[in-house]
Structure 1
Amino acid sequence: MPDLQAIGKALALAGLVLAVIGVALWLGGRLGLGALPGDLRLSGERWGCFVPIGSMIVLSLVLTVVINVILRILNR
């Protein structure tokens, strides 16, 4: 018989993670991610390609800071 409390906690955590990702994507669109200098847009008559290099650098820096802060708080 599965432990229903563990399944419930896992589902609640998965829901929280999805909510955080959703809010981040929503705010990312409003803050101009995807339109930064360094984001490449290539297009022709029948094709298009978008390479968000600048946005990925910003996202990487923000996530690095957030993860380091969380790890420092948890290690105390």
Structure 2
Amino acid sequence: MNSDTGKYIMLIGAAVVVIGVVIYFFHDKLHWIGHLPGDIRIEKENFRFYFPVTTMIVFSVLITVIVSLIRRFL
């Protein structure tokens, strides 16, 4: 391990804290997450299956854009 590893771990920890704060304070405004058109939801009497396809694609695109912007400017 070197000092860069420690920096990355600290950045990941800070990102987790920021995400936690956003979810804690804005949970009532984030109800659309997981309920987008294209998310597969099957609910029966004793069975529930949920696969958020569209939500995962949206988050993947957002994370890709954020990481590419960070890499470009740093």
TM-score, L = length of structure 2:
0.69
CA RMSD of aligned residues (A): 2.6
Q: Which amino acid aligns with 1:45?
A: E
- Give ranges in structure 1 of 5+ residues lacking alignment: 1-5
TM-score, L = length of structure 1:
0.68
> Match for residue 43 of structure 1?
43
User: How far apart, in 2, do the equivalents of 1:47 and 1:64 lie?
Assistant: 34
Q: How many residues align?
A: 65
Matched residue SS, 1:33: coil
Q: 1:47 to 1:31 in 2, by over 3 A?
A: closer
Could you list the structure 1 runs, at least 4 aligned residues long, displaced by more than 2 angstroms after superposition.
none
User: How far apart, in 2, do the equivalents of 1:21 and 1:37 lie?
Assistant: 24
* Identical pairs, percent: 34
- Give ranges in structure 2 of 5+ residues lacking alignment: none
